[in-house]
Amino acid sequence: MNRQTHKILIDAPPERIWNVLWNDLTYMSWSAAFSAGSRAETDWKAGSNVLFLDNTNNGMAGVIVAAIPNELMSIRHMAEVKNGIVQPDSPASREWMGAMENYTLKKAGDQTELTIEVDVTQEYSEYFARTWPLALNRIKGLAERK
């Protein structure tokens, strides 16, 4: 597992960016950079389960480790999801179990810096290196809209 870090400066306050990140409609918009129809099923509270699903109900299950509004969202991946069913013993689940995904918001003058740290397998390293910048630009566009 390798950790990737992706950053972007956004001309918006942390509160607006937080809302873009975790509001159902805007989440679907920016996460489409990874897969059309992407969505998350959760309440975004620490200790809650989360399902990250595509339009065929495949994806990953995890748990929210930390949720500090407007500052930090930390998610631990736990298992693969196939056809809407969590697969705790699948090869992909064993490979991704414990992978972390952290979102940090920090004021940077009049802007806010969004930092994404994500653990990825070697197999998906290039894919996420290519798609995270696309997702960050979508987040920036949504947050900077007046």
pLDDT at 90: 86
Q: Show the tokens assigned to 56.
A: 């065929």
**Overall number of domains in the chain:** 1
Q: What is the mean pLDDT of the chain?
A: 95
pTM here is: 0.94
User: Which residue segment(s) compose the domain that 87 sits in?
Assistant: 2-144
Token pair in block for residue 77 = 């991946």
Report how far residue 142's alpha carbon sits from residue 132's, in angstroms, rounded to the nearest whole number. Answer: 15
125-139 pLDDT, tens digit per residue, is 999 999 999 999 999
Q: What is the pLDDT of residues 72-84, one digit of tens each?
A: 999 999 999 999 9
* CATH number where 120 lies: 3.30.530.20
Coil, strand or helix: which one is 124?
helix
Asked whether the predicted pLDDT for residue 95 surpasses 70, the reply is yes
pLDDT for the residue 146:
64
